[in-house]
Structures are given as C-alpha cells and as structure tokens.
Amino acid sequence: MVNTCCVNGCATRSNKEPDVTFHRIPKTDLTRGEKIRELSEKRRRAWIQQINRKTVTDITIKPWTRVCSKHFVTGKPAELYDESHPDWVPSLDMGYNCKKGDLDRYERTKQRQVQPVQAEAEPEPSADGDADGVIEMSADNEDSEEVTNKAASGDVVLQQVFLQLEKDRRLLQTEKEAVVAENNSFKSEVQALTEENMHMKEKLASVTWCEDSFRDDDNKVKYYTGLPSFVLLMALLKELSPHITTGPRTATTKFQQLLMVLMRLRLNLPIRVISDMFILSESTVSRTVLKMIDVMFDRLKHIVKWPNKDELWGSVPLDFLHSFGKKVTVIIDCFEIFMETPSSMDPKCKTFSHYKHHNTMKFLIGITPQGSVSYVSKGWGGRTSDKFLTENSDFLDHLLPGDLVLADRGFNISESVGLRCAEVKIPAFTKGKRQLSAFDVESTRKLAHLRIHVERVIGIIMQKYPILDATIPVTFLSKSEGDQFSTLDKVVTVCAALVNLCPSVVPFD
C-alpha cells in the first residue's frame, strides 16, 4: 500500500521516496491510567491543530492517515512524555506560516534549566600588602580563574547529567504510575470477572438440573418430582443409585436420570421437551426414562405391600375402630386410564369402556385403613367388569380368614371372598323395595364415609402424577421379552409406591 502525507501542500509518497518514514496521528491511550489518557488526548488534539486542515478532524481521521518525517525536526515524533520537545507535534513545512528555530529554542530551554553554579568567593586583598604581594596575588588570581572556569565547566556537565537523570526519573515515575494504574485496572477487572463467573456458576447450577439447584428448595422438589422434600428425594436416589448405570459415554448423572423420569411422571412432559431441558437427543431421553422405570419398579414395588395383621392392627384409625373394629383389611376400587385407540379390532373391543366412552386400561387398587396403597393389579381392558377383574387377578390370594373388605356396589364378590373365609361389605341395595331400612341407611353411611378414602388416594395418585390422567400411547402396553409386566403396569406401581412415600390422606385420630 502506498502511503501519502496528509499535510497541506506535501506531495511525499512512499513509493517515490522510500527513505521517508510515515507516522500515524497518535490515538488516545485508554489502557494505562488517567494521566496517560489525558496526555495522549492532548497530543492528538495538538497534532490535528498543527495539521490545520478541514479534512483532518478527530472524526474524519482514517487508519491510513499519515504524516511524513519531513515535518519533524529530528525526522520522527518525540516520545509521549517529552512534551517540551519540538517534535512532540509536527512543525516543519506545514503549508502555512509557522515559527522557526524550535529545536534551538528547545536546547536553550534545557540550558536555562541548569542551576547557576555558585562561584567561590575571591579573597579580599590586604590593605597593608606591598606591590609584590599585589603582583603575586594577580598571578594567583589568573591561575585561580582558570581553575574556576574548568570547575564551572565540569559542574555544568554534571548538572546537565543530573537534569537528564532527573528527567529520566520523572519519566520512569510517570510510566510506573501508568503501570500501577493499569495493574489496578486489571485487578478490578479480574475481580469483576471472578464475581461474574461465580454468579454465572450459580445461575448455571440453577438450570443444569443438579442436586445443588434443589438442595434448599422443597417447593421446587415438590413441583418437579411430587415428593415432599429434598431429603426424601436424596434417600430415594441412594436406594436406586447402585442400580443406575453410568459411564464415560453417559451424558447425565444418576441424579439427572432419576429427575428425568420423575419429571416425565409428575409433569407428563413430552420427551422432546425433556431432551431440550437436558440438552440430549430424544432417543437418549426415551431410553433413559424406560430404563429408569424398570429400575424403580424392581426397587420400589415392595413399598406397595400387603401388611400382616400385627402391622395392620397396630395403627388402625379411630373411624375404622368405631365402625368395624380391627376387622377391615383393605378398601378396594377400580380406576381407568385413557389410552390411544388400538388399530386392531380385537384389542379395540376389549379396551373400550362403556363407562368412560373411551378406550381405557382398568386397574384394581387396594388401600389399608391407614391410607397406604397395599395392592395394585396388572392392567386389564376397559371392558372388563370389576367383579371379573377382582376374581381373576391375584387379589383374593392375599385374603386371610376373618378379613373384611370394603368395596363399591360393582364388586359383587361375596361368594369368591367367602371361599377364603373372609367378608366383603358393599353399600346396601333396595332390591325392589321403595327405600332402605334405617339399619341399611346407617351401615351404608358408615361404609361410604370410610370407603371414600380409596377414591381420595386414587385422586392423589392422578394429581401427583398426571401421566396417568392423560392418554397413554399404545406402546406403553408392550412387554419386554420374558417380562410379565407392561410399561404401563410398572408406571402405575411406581406412582403408587411414590405416593406411599408421602404423608397419608387418612387422619389417625
């Protein structure tokens, strides 16, 4: 690139005069402290004023704007700190009348800065001295004057050296102050960046779905998992942790894998949304959720437990004691989950519920008088009756002689329950009578008052884990090879177990 000089009337070009150097108009230095900034800004204004052209202003200066060495006394600009130097700004042949002799003036200024040397005082001649003494003193004075002149000349040189050293010291002091200011600026910047880094780490932790983002926020735990506290969530993780697989190629922690499946159950989030939240592919999230459902089913199904007599009788709520003593073992009911319509006719017919007017899967659930889920059956097609489901599941195998079962009118299972030497209580029927007797009304009232707890538990399960209140895909009904439980069976059991970990809806007193 060919450089040209911006001074008015100067036609110097770098391709024609290669020995001439070209210099940029100095910039304002913002990096080395306030003093350097002010000095560099002052020098920039002085250059622009010295060039004195309408086309060269603080706004219009371009990166290629140059001043050639012909306009400097020494052939190049002086240092930034040497403000008194004639080449602190360009001054020669500026295209208009300017003062001459700046370099001589600069040298004279330096000479004036030399402190006058104190001459030694000459001794006064004696009043009583003779002519020889005067002659001898005159000769001595000549020698003394010569010595004094030499000493003065040496002192001047020393004084100039001293002034140069003082100038260098001030220059170094200015540079030191600039470096200190720059260092302090860097320290402040590092401190600000450190604080910002810590803030960003905290912010990142709050959105990266790690333990710390839930640690002191039970409301957040309850919203995303359905569990009442962070302590319970970590206890659940501790129970499942040995069975959760991780490795070098695993992009998530064990906590995140547990959190993904709980969020899927709790919020019924689509796989695509979870994949965006955890920055994973949909296939990875889908595999992780299904794998965690299997792990949770294997490790938590024992929580949905049929209690023995000692466990049951040790904490029977007062309402049950007053109405039926310690005889009540289980309260049963059925609930249905909507599903996509199967493509084949046979499963379409078997799953259509005339009660829900939709294709559903039906489950039998039993709770203890204390309100914990003690039994969950496998899923059956929505067309299945409550009586058929109860008699063809393994529910009756849990009954012992003397057990009392509370149920709704649809459970006409007295004979099958009686074969186990147990009893079932259902609301009374009018059986063609105009109204129920007073005894039947009272017994039905007591039964309905207690049986409603199973409906409350079903409602809690649906409310805590809305995936059961949505329309499930047909793929949830598939079973792995050698597995007798479908994915939906496992999901229902896991949700029931998680509800058992929460406080009961049935009051003790």
Structure tokens at 98: 């300017």
Q: What is the pLDDT of residue 399?
A: 94
Same domain? 195 vs 148:
yes
CB neighbour list of residue 486: distance below 8 Å, 6 or more residues apart: 378, 379, 476, 477, 478, 479
Q: What is the pLDDT of residue 99?
A: 52
Last residue of a domain, one of 157, 179, 207: 207
CB neighbour list of residue 319: distance below 8 Å, 6 or more residues apart: 449, 450
One digit per residue, the tens of pLDDT, for the chain of length 509 reads 788 898 988 888 888 888 899 999 998 888 888 888 888 899 999 998 888 888 888 878 888 889 999 999 888 998 888 888 888 999 888 887 655 455 566 566 666 655 444 444 444 444 444 545 544 555 555 555 555 555 556 666 777 777 888 888 888 888 888 888 888 888 988 998 988 888 777 666 556 688 888 988 999 999 999 999 999 999 999 999 999 988 777 778 999 999 999 999 999 999 999 999 888 999 999 999 999 999 999 999 999 999 888 888 888 888 888 888 888 999 999 999 999 999 999 999 999 999 899 999 999 999 999 999 999 999 999 999 999 999 999 999 999 999 999 999 889 999 999 999 999 998 876 666 667 666 667 777 788 888 899 999 999 999 999 999 999 999 999 988 888 999 999 999 999 999 999 998 887 66
Q: What is the pLDDT of residue 125?
A: 47
Domain count, the chain: 4
Q: Does residue 120 fall inside a structural domain?
A: no
Between the alpha carbon of residue 423 and those of residues 394, 398, 413, 440, the distances in Å are 17, 13, 9, 17
Same domain? 162 vs 246:
no
Range of the domain at 286: 212-301
Last residue of a domain, one of 241, 274, 301: 301
Residue 411 CB-density burial (10 A; 0-12 exposed, 13-18 middle, 19+ buried): buried
Indicate the helix (H) or strand (E) that contains 362. Answer: strand 358-367
Q: Does residue 6 fall inside a structural domain?
A: no
Separation of alpha carbons 104 and 115, rounded Å: 19
Structure tokens at 226: 């359905």
Same domain? 287 vs 308:
no
**Strand, coil or helix: 359:** strand
Residue type, position 330, single letter = V
Q: What is the pLDDT of residue 56?
A: 84
Same domain? 461 vs 392:
yes
Bridge partners, residue 415, by sequence: none
Contacts of 415-424 with CB under 8 Å at 24 or more apart are 416/390, 416/391, 420/396, 422/329, 423/327
Residue 285 CB: number of other CB atoms within 10 A?
25
Separation of alpha carbons 493 and 236, rounded Å: 16
